[in-house]
Structure 1
Amino acid sequence: MSNRIYNLLVRRPEIVFWLILGYFVLSVLLRALRSDSLQNDEAEQAFQAQFLLLGYGRQPPFYNWLQIGMAEVFGLSIFTISLLKNLLLLLCCLFYWLAARMLMDDRRLPLVAMLGVLAIPSVTILAQRDLTHATATLCLVSVFLCIFIRTLKQPSLGSYIMLGVTVGIGAITKYNFVIVPLAAALAVLPEPQFRKRLLDVRVLAALCAAAVVALPHLIWAVMHLEAATTGTVEAMREGSSGDPLKDTIRGLISILLSTLEGSLPVIILFGLVFWRDVGAAWRAENAWTRVIGRMIVVCIVLVAVIGIGFGASSIRQKWLSPFLLLLPLYLSLKFAAARTDSGASVARMAPPLMGIVTGFIVYLALSNIIGPFLGKYGKEHIPYRPMLEQVLAQRGEHPAYIITDDLMTAGNTRLHYPTVPVMMPGFDQPIPLVSAERRGPGLLIWPAGGEADALPAPLADLVRANGVAPETVPIAHLDVPYNFSRGGDAMRFGYAWLEQAPQTSR
């Protein structure tokens, strides 16, 4: 069987398109089947899908808008949440192949470059665990590469405008995307045949297009600067010692380690497939290898400079993923410049790579079943749906609104009861509370843990600010077995019913 697959891929390497499509379809199906509870980023999307806003805290809004559109068309479910993410990753692979095809005459090496994308941990490990905005950024980087390469090779006013639109969308997808076009501009400067594209007057059209797309959100970000930056800066300073020199060194080391973690799987994969030609590829170069290589270096250097500027002591691998995405293209271009015999390259790379990445998503599904036998429970084991069903069954009616101080609870509640408005203290939400009051009582709910019989502080402050004494609110607790629970292991939730909706910020 293995020889038959090998020979088939040698003759028809384009079959990898179907393998990659099958992988992402399986990813969606397994995510929908493995649990009806959400991960962190998924819960955030489910909660925020209620609101069409210009900004959502520390993340730009483009992914949220896509998620809202998906929910409006297909409904809000784990399937549609996973479908959007995997569709973006599939498009990332396809646009990456298109970009590589524009630079290489060899029909197999662009496919190799596309396969190399799946070797990046952010694409097949971190994303399948729990990433949202980062997946859209990866897709936008691939789209940018396509249009950037086309503009350098065959410039036109249309290509410049499309480039600007892509940069604008990328900027409102994730802020670190902006580093990619900046690095691209710096990377082409030493190349005379490309430098003139950068100095072309049509660049002004690209800048205008980018501004038109990104400016509304950027105005929002300036007006809400603390909300837009605090979370990211705090994450970058996580574990900070307070010593600027020590934290700078730690930050630079974390960049180095994250770069190695993200790039070594790709380098090892290419090394194993093309081991005979590594030396020749090392020496070979052309204008495109230089441009893409410089882009990678400039991106990492800019991240280091920004990290030092913000006092970062920790840079995570997922923050580097848009820049490490350039690596498979760079390596493929190096082997193309060395005139490597690529006849069996796809056949050597695809089976083991697809086996590994498929094995990982199967592992994620099985771990939910195996984990409880080892006494390990994760976010997908938390029984939000059974808890909500029991609470509502006891009352005999649905609430007009739900308030919680926990994002995971907010997202999962919204997932299972998408017609009920869900609110969180401190989140500026355009919920029609007057209408909710007329519909019936509200429900306060939270993960109780080992807390005493009292409302969590954020909920207590909220009801107090709206004329209700927290100590007068009747509190109840409910112990619900975990999903796939073993030995009666359960999680405790606290809840309380309010007969009148508090007037939160609009």
Structure 2
Amino acid sequence: MTHLSPDGTTGALAEDLADPRTTRLFFLILTLYFVAQIALRLILGGALETDEAEMLLMTPGLRWGYGPQLPLYNWLQTGLFAVFGETLFALSLLKNLLLWATYALLFVGLRAFVPARIAALSTLSLFLIPDIAWEAERATTHSNMLLATISATIAGFLWSLRTGQWRHWALFGLAMGLGGIAKYNFWAIPAGLVLAALTIPEARQRLLSLRALIAPVIAVAIVAGPYLWMHANPDLALSSVGKMELSEEAARLIPEGLSLYLQGLVVLLILPTLVAAVLWVLSRRQTAETSVHWSVSLFQRTGMVLALAGLILVWIADVGHITPRWLLPIVLPLVIALYLRLSARLSRAATLGYLGTLALLAVLVFAGLSLDRYKDGARRDLDFMPLVQMIEDMNLPEDTLIVADFYVGGNLARIHPDWRILSDLPAGARMEQATQLLLLSRNMRAEQGLSQLAARVGWPYATEADYGAEQQIALPFHHGEKTLPLRLLHGTAR
């Protein structure tokens, strides 16, 4: 066993600081992996995924707000578009930069208290979480920003607890502020970390200091502009609340979302837990190379506090729908705690087996992404050119406003950047004065009139416009027999 030195480091860490080989190897492998992911996305090409397409509609320059998503991702994507154009490379670059930063910043944060080997092995455990290894690479955007800001917040908090210096508390505040404009569920992380730290004497001593107050001050200054925009535009900012399917009836004893909440936790935790169990068996006779540091308890208690808080929230709010990725702020601290404790005692054979498992998963991710590109009905495989040709044949006036969902609208904007295209978010067209409107919808239910969509997006002339006959088109996929039906409706203001 080793003991903590006065500055909070272990003896093993002091020795480890003199040997940067593990750190260099970690960053080399990390960088090569995400460079390869960017290359794969460019090679596979095809249509844009829904979240990728969203960026082409929701980046009209720098604004305090763009809709239901917080603006940080949009700001960075706007900057990359300015440099590289509205290209697939710019889209893939930002996504993978954020995933790279997620691992890099967590590693840097863990290095405040543990050796590089343990920090690297613990950080790589995030790759065992399906929504990080697979979904974050395949589809998501703002969730990637959430992951990066969570890691930045953890890093700032751990280094603040280790040193107590102004600069580290300021960095913690900066990370909190950026996370606060990345994704709404981000706030669970700083709240959980602070509550957990208050229960640990070594952490509480650092936390209860005047210097720590600079962190919330900086965070509030960063989020002020976007949050004031949200307050002034609640119809746009809250237009996605319906995803949670909050019940308006009397609360049920067992909310429908409770089982989804528990299932989501299981889905995210099952692979990290199974791998950890195998590694523990392989290393059960191994002695830990360092004493268990209190930072392990910090992560463990953070995850437990957030899991309980989430359960209570789902119960009280009677949430009807939950997506597993919403639970990432709960799962990350639990997985980090598990692998911090485990990594200190891994045998050489277990370590090699663990790294081999991660390498195999990486290969499977590359293979899966390649197969996902060409499978029957894949979103990236849809051919939008027949729709483009159909719209061109309609000979609409040049100032016609096109309204479509993110997937259809963003892919049209990629092909025809000169067309004026808006998303079908509620109230999204309320400030538009275009007298010509073309509505596109994938909803094929006849009872859902497209003229209702014009009213929902807030087109000023929706209720008094003349609408032509509805048209339909079935878009083909490049591979496979499936088609994607679409409805089109043209409206003209009176």
TM-score range, shorter chain: 0.7 to 0.9
Distance 1:387 1:278, change over 3 A: farther
Greater alpha carbon shift after TM alignment, 395-404 vs 289-298: 395-404
Give distance in 1, aligned partners of 2:322 and 2:486: 35
1:308 aligned onto 2:318: no
CA contact (8 A) 2:125 2:272 kept: yes
How big is each residue's C-alpha offset from its partner over 1:194-249, in whole Å with a ceiling of 9 and x where there is no partner? Answer: 212222112222121111001112222233345434523x32237x695623443x
2:196 maps to which of 187, 202, 214: 187
CA contact (8 A) 1:399 1:443 kept: no
Partner letter of residue 133 of structure 1?
A: H
Distance 1:345 1:385, change over 3 A: farther
Q: What residue is the counterpart of 1:219 in the other structure? A: 228
Structure 1 residue 152 displacement after superposition: 0.5
Aligned residues: CA RMSD: 3.4
Give distance in 1, aligned partners of 2:379 and 2:369: 12
Distance 1:385 1:300, change over 3 A: farther
Q: What residue is the counterpart of 1:388 in the other structure? A: 388
TM-score of the two chains, using structure 2 as the length reference = 0.83
Q: What residue is the counterpart of 1:120 in the other structure? A: 129
TM-score of the two chains, using structure 1 as the length reference = 0.81
How big is each residue's C-alpha offset from its partner over 1:414-434, in whole Å with a ceiling of 9 and x where there is no partner? Answer: 222223321246443598857
Structure 1 residue 443 displacement after superposition: 5.1
1:29 aligned onto 2:39: yes
Give distance in 1, aligned partners of 2:133 and 2:253: 33
Give distance in 2, aligned partners of 1:495 and 1:316: 31
Q: How does 1:392-431 map to 2 (within 5 A)?
A: 392=392, 394=393, 399-424=398-423, 426-428=426-428
Distance 1:326 1:265, change over 3 A: same
1:206 aligned onto 2:215: yes
Greater RCO (Cα-Cα under 8 Å, separation 6 or more) = 1
CA contact (8 A) 2:430 2:460 kept: no
Give distance in 2, aligned partners of 1:445 and 1:328: 43
SS in 2 for 1:273: helix
Give distance in 2, aligned partners of 1:492 and 1:190: 56
Q: What residue is the counterpart of 2:369 in the other structure? A: 364
Q: What residue is the counterpart of 1:270 in the other structure? A: 276
Partner letter of residue 469 of structure 1?
A: D
Instruction: Report sequence identity in percent.
Output: 22
Distance 1:490 1:177, change over 3 A: closer
Q: How does 1:17-56 map to 2 (within 5 A)?
A: 17-56=27-66
Q: What residue is the counterpart of 1:111 in the other structure? A: 120
Partner letter of residue 465 of structure 1?
A: A
Give distance in 2, aligned partners of 1:117 and 1:355: 15
- What are the ranges of 5 or more consecutive residues in structure 1 without an aligned counterpart? 1-10, 372-376
Q: What residue is the counterpart of 2:156 in the other structure? A: 147
Give distance in 2, aligned partners of 1:417 and 1:356: 38
Q: What residue is the counterpart of 1:161 in the other structure? A: 170
Partner letter of residue 226 of structure 2?
A: H
Partner letter of residue 173 of structure 2?
A: G
SS in 2 for 1:186: helix
Partner letter of residue 74 of structure 1?
A: F
Give distance in 2, aligned partners of 1:304 and 1:20: 35
SS in 2 for 1:244: coil
SS in 1 for 2:410: helix
Partner letter of residue 281 of structure 2?
A: W
Q: What residue is the counterpart of 1:481 in the other structure? A: 476
Q: What residue is the counterpart of 1:6 in the other structure? A: none
Distance 1:194 1:444, change over 3 A: closer
Structure 1 residue 384 displacement after superposition: 2.0
How big is each residue's C-alpha offset from its partner over 1:425-471, in whole Å with a ceiling of 9 and x where there is no partner? Answer: 6443598857xx8xxx875544485759x85532488485385411x
Distance 1:448 1:98, change over 3 A: closer
Q: How does 1:245-324 map to 2 (within 5 A)?
A: 245-248=252-255, 250-278=256-284, 285-324=292-331
CA contact (8 A) 2:455 2:463 kept: no
Distance 1:227 1:308, change over 3 A: farther
Partner letter of residue 361 of structure 2?
A: I
- What are the ranges of 5 or more consecutive residues in structure 2 without an aligned counterpart? 1-20
Greater alpha carbon shift after TM alignment, 219-228 vs 59-68: 219-228
Partner letter of residue 418 of structure 1?
A: P
How big is each residue's C-alpha offset from its partner over 1:380-420, in whole Å with a ceiling of 9 and x where there is no partner? Answer: 3432244214543x368994444124332222222222233
1:102 maps to which of 105, 109, 112: 112
Distance 1:386 1:128, change over 3 A: farther
Give distance in 2, aligned partners of 1:94 and 1:485: 40
SS in 1 for 2:419: coil
Distance 1:87 1:370, change over 3 A: same
Partner letter of residue 362 of structure 2?
A: V
Give distance in 1, aligned partners of 2:431 and 2:84: 22
Give distance in 1, aligned partners of 2:487 and 2:260: 40
Give distance in 2, aligned partners of 1:188 and 1:229: 32
Give distance in 2, aligned partners of 1:465 and 1:350: 58
SS in 2 for 1:55: coil
1:244 maps to which of 244, 247, 251: 251
Distance 1:415 1:193, change over 3 A: same
Q: What residue is the counterpart of 2:10 in the other structure? A: none
Distance 1:358 1:341, change over 3 A: closer
CA contact (8 A) 1:237 1:314 kept: yes
